[in-house]
Amino acid sequence: MSLDDQKSSASNTSTHTTGLIMLALSAICILLALKIFKGRKRDVLVLIALGLAVAAFYVLANPQSTEKHYEKDNVENAYGEVSLRIDCSVVFDHWEELDETLKDGDYWPKDGIILERSEYSIEEGDTAFDVLLDAVTQNKIHIDYQGGDANIYNTVYIEGIQYLYEFSCGKLSGWTYAVNGSFPDVGCSSYVLSDGDFVEWMYTYDLGRDVGNLFEGEGE
Amino acid sequence: MKFFSNLHPIVLFVHFVSVMGMVMFTMNPLLIGMAFLSSVVFALSSEGFAAIKKTFIYAGCFIVIVTVTNPLFTSNGVTELFFVFGRAFTLEALYYGAAAGFMLASVFIWCRAYSAVITSDKFLYLFGKPFPKLSLVLSMSLRFIPLFARKMKAVSDVQKTMGLYSKESLTDRFFSGARIFSSVLTWSLENAVDTSNSMKARGYGFPARSSFSMFRFTQRDGVMLTLIVCLAGTAYMGIINGSLDFYYYPAVLPFVKTHFTIYSILSSGVVLFLPSAMETVEKALWNFYTSKI
């Protein structure tokens, strides 16, 4: 029976709550099938399909409590160490252009360094995005990003760090990154890091010009 | 008993436009709450619960879907409830989703309630002369959904009488509904062409043509129009000068800031609850007079 399959797949999943919810779901499915849809095969099939879809969504979504999300997990196959720093000091130079809603809260340290330079272990093939995600998770810093499947560049786009979003401080503002002082031409999830790299995430007011990313033919 | 809907079409239309604007141009939770409540009260008082039950069910589903979906797409907000797809599911995003859901639901219910008040003859009376083509298209599209529902009911009734699709199975009924839907859609396209042709044949859009119904702009209409314009103007000034601004991200901020906030909230409340209040007063008066007979 496919309903039993649903139950057995539930016991395989990792978390306790997942199992409980899936058990309840299949119990509801069985009850409904027995009571309401007596002698209506197609309805039962559709219901099972719906139940499986919900279960699949649940497994894909992988809900985690906040505490569990911020638990430190150890890097197993350490390949090297990279250092990372997050800097939004530009905001304090253009305070008058900042969104009203961000002015009231005390969201960033006064020097604009959201995350001091520190070392993080990486595995082979880790990208600039992986190490950023590691760092913000370890330090309980808020992050919002657009997944690589959601845009035409197939690379992750960092929308906001610590409630500071793109366009929060003027029309040309947003997050940009530099590795060892130079600005890569690819998105952060396409840049593979090597041992000893220094990744710097910077908030820019002027499409990167103010933090040192000059376009060809500009400046020196 | 139908005090509000007996007002001059221009008054009704101005009220409609100001309510829609008020609901759509702000995310202030108090204003959205009032808009939703007033839409429900107005729909109940003008059409009764039985006629509007389905609209409420759809609106409720809509609110739930929009509320739950928003936090899946944005993780802004200081209160992280839990994590899905590796991103934060925040309370603020949930609030914003709820506000958006209630806003859309109230627009939906207001439009539904207005379709019973601003009928197509009133609409053509208002805009038939200056914009004949546009107003015909608009009145046809306003009429489209109720007409479509009626036609679908008729077709499915006939099919049932012929013994088709009368099975108990929900899935079968769903697929038969889909088939009827597609055939009625084809019919409605043809019907739209027929309607415009027959309107043309009757001389629609010809300058000397008179309206089907005539409405006189009385003193009462003038008073109501002035009241609505003044109150709605106050509310819009509040929206434009920012005293109704409300922030959800990254933390929810309190909304009463200036005296003007209170004025514009109050005046928008009066505009929103005006139709249902007028109906209630009229009903009370009617009961009072009949009790004397």
Other residues' Cβ atoms within 10 Å of the Cβ of residue B261: 20
- Classify A124 as helix, strand or coil: coil
Task: Report the pLDDT value the prediction gives residue A218, as an integer from 0 to 100.
Answer: 62
The partner residue sitting opposite B83, judged by closest CB among A64, A102, A104, is: A64
Tens digit of each residue's pLDDT (9 = 90 or more) over A130-155: 999 999 999 999 999 988 887 888 89
| Band of residue B63 on the pLDDT scale cut at 50, 70, 90 | very high
A9: pLDDT strictly greater than 50: no
**Which carries the bigger pLDDT value, residue B22 or residue A17?**
B22
Task: Report the pLDDT value the prediction gives residue A38, as an integer from 0 to 100.
Answer: 67
- Determine the residue of chain A that is closest to B74 in CA distance: A144
**Which carries the bigger pLDDT value, residue B128 or residue A76?**
B128
Residue window 175-214, chain A: list those with CB within 8 Å of chain B.
none
Which residues on chain A are in Cβ contact (under 8 Å) with B85? 60-62
B1: pLDDT strictly greater than 70: no
Q: What does the alpha-carbon distance between residue B117 and residue B41 come to, in Å, rounded to a whole number? A: 14
Q: What does the alpha-carbon distance between residue A129 and residue A135 come to, in Å, rounded to a whole number? A: 10
- The answer to whether B90 touches B71, Cβ cutoff 8 Å, is yes
| Band of residue A15 on the pLDDT scale cut at 50, 70, 90 | low
Tens digit of each residue's pLDDT (9 = 90 or more) over A49-62: 898 999 899 988 88
- Pick from B74, B78, B170 the residue to mutate for testing the A interface (most A CBs within 10 Å): B170
Shortest Cα distance, chain A CAs vs residue B273, angstroms? 31
In the 3-class helix/strand/coil scheme, how is B51-88 assigned residue by residue? HHHHHHHHHHHHHHHHHHHHHHHCCCCCCEEEEECCEE
Task: Report the pLDDT value the prediction gives residue A1, as an integer from 0 to 100.
Answer: 39
Task: Report the pLDDT value the prediction gives residue B224, as an integer from 0 to 100.
Answer: 93
Task: Report the pLDDT value the prediction gives residue A2, as an integer from 0 to 100.
Answer: 43
- The answer to whether A186 touches A118, Cβ cutoff 8 Å, is no
- Classify A86 as helix, strand or coil: strand
Yes or no, beta carbons of B76 and A69 under 8 Å apart: no
Task: Report the pLDDT value the prediction gives residue A173, as an integer from 0 to 100.
Answer: 94
Yes or no, beta carbons of B85 and A160 under 8 Å apart: no
Q: How far is CA A195 from the centre of its chain?
A: 23
The partner residue sitting opposite A43, judged by closest CB among B89, B171, B250, is: B171
Please tell me if residue A103 touches chain B, with a CB cutoff of 8 Å: no
Yes or no, beta carbons of B75 and A142 under 8 Å apart: yes
Task: Report the pLDDT value the prediction gives residue A216, as an integer from 0 to 100.
Answer: 67
Please tell me if residue B73 touches chain A, with a CB cutoff of 8 Å: no
Tens digit of each residue's pLDDT (9 = 90 or more) over B104-122: 999 999 988 888 888 888 8
Task: Of A71-80, A166-175, A187-196, B136-145, give the lowest mean pLDDT range.
Answer: A71-80
Question: At residue A73, what is the residue type?
Answer: D
Task: Report the pLDDT value the prediction gives residue A165, as an integer from 0 to 100.
Answer: 93
Alpha helices in chain B (DSSP H): 9-24, 29-47, 49-73, 91-117, 120-127, 132-161, 170-201, 219-240, 259-292
Shortest Cα distance, chain B CAs vs residue A217, angstroms? 37
Please tell me if residue B86 touches chain A, with a CB cutoff of 8 Å: yes
Please tell me if residue A62 touches chain B, with a CB cutoff of 8 Å: yes
Yes or no, beta carbons of A63 and B76 under 8 Å apart: no
**How much is the ipTM here?**
0.76
Yes or no, beta carbons of B82 and A60 under 8 Å apart: no
